[in-house]
Amino acid sequence: MTAADRDTIDREIDKADLLVERDRIVARYNEINSAIHTWGIKIGPWRWVRPVHTGAISIIFALWHLSAFATGVLITILWEGGKELGVALVVGALFGVGSFLSQMWSQGMDRQREFVQRVEFEDELSEMRGLIRKFREIENELNTHRG
């Protein structure tokens, strides 16, 4: 076996080790991500827990209000005695969607503002981190001289 063959084998072993480590990291990441996004309901002995992301909650919210809107329209058209209920469902669905959209807009604006602040003040934050690091070093040095 030549040195080149040994190098090739070593590279293959290193690659296999890296692939195993990568798979372990991905599995752990998915486990943590699932735990972070777990949502549940517990009523007495009954418990329902599922990993749900914000996108799924948004879809559930939108479907709920769409069904309330559609039900309200159908009740208004098809049931003479239930027009008030139908109108109430339609208006409630519209208010719910409006509230949801305003929350989404608010969060989007907050993220945008936070991003701009990070970009604009990154130099100042870096300088402050450096100052804090130096302060801690001085404190540690002072503590070692006292003791």
Q: Which has the higher per-residue pLDDT, 51 or 104?
A: 104
Tell me what pLDDT residue 16 has: 79
Residue 14 lies in a domain: yes
Residue 27 lies in a domain: yes
Tell me what pLDDT residue 108 has: 82
Residue 101 lies in a domain: no
Number of domains forming the structure of the chain: 1
Q: Would you say residue 4 has pLDDT above 70? A: no
Residue pLDDT, tens place only, 49-102: 766 677 777 888 888 889 888 889 999 888 888 889 999 989 999 888 888 888
Residue 109 lies in a domain: no
Residue 44 lies in a domain: yes
Residue 11 lies in a domain: yes
Residue 122 lies in a domain: no
pTM: 0.46
| HEC letters along the chain | CCHHHHHHHHHHHHHHHHHHHHHHHHHHHHHHHHHHCEEEEEECCEEEEEECCHHHHHHHHHHHHHHHHHHHHHHHHHCHHHHHHHHHHHHHHHHHHHHHHHHHHHHHHHHHHHHHHHHHCHHHHHHHHHHHHHHHHHHHHHHHHHC
Residue 137 lies in a domain: no
By residue range, what is the domain housing residue 3? Answer: 1-52
Tell me what pLDDT residue 51 has: 67
